[in-house]
Amino acid sequence: EAQVTQNPRYLITVTGKKLTVTCSQNMNHEYMSWYRQDPGLGLRQIYYSMNVEVTDKGDVPEGYKVSRKEKRNFPLILESPSPNQTSLYFCASSLINRESTQYFGPGTRLTVL
């Protein structure tokens, strides 16, 4: 089944404790992206990647890192999480052109205390 998977689905952590949220897709998509969703603000893009070893900042990249060492994986890294990073995070993937559908993962709900 074609899908985007994320792990963990739920995470409660404390300020400053490094964490990684994994994202994997099995559709051989070149493009992958991370969004955060907060009430009233919609989906805001954190980082995106157009292919292996090619990443770029989205609208809200501060406090996040990403890597794209393999085509299928695009982990999101929070080196020193803070409470303002408490949010619902979605990973998405698509083919590389503008006419492509984005497929979203199930989401990761992160709480930073």
Partner 1 sequence: QQPVQSPQAVILREGEDAVINCSSSKALYSVHWYRQKHGEAPVFLMILLKGGEQKGHEKISASFNEKKQQSSLYLTASQLSYSGTYFCGTDNQAGTALIFGKGTTLSVSS
Distance CA 46, CA 9 (A): 18
Q: How many residues are there in the chain?
A: 113
Find the binder of partner 1 among 2, 16, 59, 70 (CB under 8 A): 59
Distance from the Cα of residue 106 to its chain's centroid? 11
Using DSSP's 3-state secondary structure scheme, residue 85 falls into helix
Q: How far is the CB of 9 from partner 1 (least distance, A)?
A: 11
Q: How far is the CB of 30 from partner 1 (least distance, A)?
A: 11
Q: Calculate ∠ Cα 74-75-79, nearest 5°.
A: 145
Find the binder of partner 1 among 23, 29, 36, 48 (CB under 8 A): 48
61 is a site residue for partner 1 (CB under 8 A): no
Nearer CB in complex with partner 1: 45/73: 45
Find the binder of partner 1 among 52, 58, 72, 95 (CB under 8 A): 58
